[in-house]
Structure 1
Amino acid sequence: MKIILSLIVFFATISLVANASESYWAIRTDLRKCAYPMCGGYFVREVGSNKSEVYVKSLNQTVKGGGSTVDESLYKFAPSYTVVVKGDIKKDEIIVSKIFRLLPKPDKPFNFDSELNNFYIVDSKETNSNIEIKKLNSNKSEKLNSIENSYSQDVSFVPMDWLEYKVTTGESVFTVSGRIDSNKTVSIDYMFISLPDPKLCPKELIAVRCANGTIPTYTIAATRCLSFSGCVHRGICPLVVPGCSGGYTLKSYASKPNGCPRYYCIPSFLS
C-alpha cells in the first residue's frame, strides 16, 4: 500500500512540475523557403520577456480532459504574434496545451511589442466575489471588482455574452488599457480567445423536422452552442441586414417568436 501511495505522489509531482514549466508564447509562422525541418515551423517569443525569438520545427498539441486538438488552419499563417500558446519548448518543438487567437480590431491594429508586458488571464478558480487577474509569465496578480470590454464599442454586433464567458472562465488571454482605477476596474484592450470555438457542444442526435409549414428556431448560449427552441410559423421579418466590422463574418439563426434571423458577427477565422 505504501508503494502505491508513493507512486501516486511521485506521478502527481511530475504532473505539477510539468504544468508549472508551461509558459505563454506568441508565435509567427516561418515563411522562409528551405527544406523542412530547417524551415517551415514557427518562431516563438515569450510573453513578458525581451528575449529573442526561438525557432521550433513544430507545434505539438496535448489534449486534456476530453478536449480536442485545434485545426492547424486556425492558427498557421495568422498575422505575426496574433496567436498566443501555452506550452513548453522541448528540444526543437513546442508542446502546447492551449491556443489563443486575437480578436481583430479593424481600426486599431495590434502591435505585440507595445503590449509585450501587458498580458493577463482571469483566475477561473477564484470563488469569492472578487475577480483575480494574473499577469502572464509572472507571479503578479490583481484583485478586481469588474472588467470592462472595449470590443462592445470597437466591433459591431459581436456577442458580448460570448466574450464575457471567454474572459471569466479563463478561456481568453487579454491586454488591458491604462491602470486599474479607484473602483478596481480595468478595461480589456485586446482579446485572444481559446480555440477551438465553440467546443464540446451537445450533438444533435435527431434532425429537427417541423410540421404544418412551421420552421425550427434556436437559441444560442454564451458558449456559441445552438439549442433547438421549438417550431414556429414564419412571420414578417425586417429587411435590414446588419454589416460586420472588417475581419468579421455575419452569422444568423432562426429565432422566436416568428422565425426571423438573429444576426451576430464572429471573427472570420472561425467562420
Structure 2
Amino acid sequence: MTLTGKVILITGGAGGLGSASAAMCAERGADVVLLDRDEEALARAAEAIRGRVDTYVLDVTDAAACAKVTAQIVAKYGRVDIVWANAGVSVFGPVDLLPDGAWKRVLDVNLVGAHNIVRAALPELLRSRGYIAMTCSWASFAHQPGHSAYSAAKAGLEAFANSLRLELSGTGVDVGSLHPGWIDTTMVTGKLKGQPAFAALLDALPGPFGSVATTASITPHLVDALERRAARMIYPRVGWALLFTRSALQTSLFTRRSRAIAPKIRRLSALER
C-alpha cells in the first residue's frame, strides 16, 4: 500500500518515534495527523515536518475526547486510513518504590489509551479497509525487573493486537504490532541520565540486548511497516530472538542476569526516592 494520499493518525506524535516517523510518512505523500497531550511539542513537531501535517491536542486516556477528535478529523479529511496507537509512557523501579498511581498510569496510557483511539476510529477504518498499528515494544515478550508496569502494558497491547487481528478477519482491516527495542528517545535516554538503576539494568543485559539503537535507524522500518500493513515489525532485528524464545525467557537460565542485578536495582531505586 502506498502512503500517498492516506490519512494517518499517530498518537504520541509530538516527539520520539511518532514525530520522526510522521516526517517520513509525509515525505511519502501521506496526510499526517499528530495527536498528543503536549500542545507546544506538537507545534514544534509539525513545524519540522515537510509535507501535509495537522495536529490535535489529545489525552488518549479520555475515551470521549478520542471520539470527539476522531470525528473532527473525519469531518475535515473525509476518511481515516491508518491509526497508529503509539502514545506511551513508562516508569522504572520496584513496584513498592514507585509513586502512587504511577503503575496504573502506564497501563492507562499504553493499553487503555490504545483501545480508546482504536475504538473511536474503527468505524472509519472499516469503511476505508484501513490499517491499525500498535507500538508493543520488546517489553511485550521480554520482561525485566523494575519494568513491571511497562511489561504488563505492552504484553497486554500485543495480546490486544493479536486478538483484534483475528476479530477483524474478512473486513479488510489489517492489524500490526510494532516492537522497538531500546531506542534513544527521551523515554530511554532520560532514564539513563537520571536513574542509575535503569542504567544498571541495561549494563547487565547481554550484548545487543542492552544496546540502545538510534531513532534514525528504526524510523524507516516503522514507516515501511505502515506502508506494507505488516502484521509484526521488530527492530533491532536481534529482538526476533526474544520473540522466538519467549517461552524460555523466564526460566532460571535466561533470568540469571536479571535476578543478579535485581537487588542493585532495588537499592539504587530506594536512593532515588
TM-score range with shorter-chain normalisation? under 0.3
Answer 1 or 2: which has greater helix percent.
2
TM-score (norm 2): 0.26
The structure with the largest alpha-carbon Rg is 1
TM-score (norm 1): 0.26
Report 1 or 2 for greater relative contact order, CA contacts < 8 Å, sequence distance ≥ 6.
2
Comparing both structures, which one devotes a greater share of its residues to strand?
A: 1
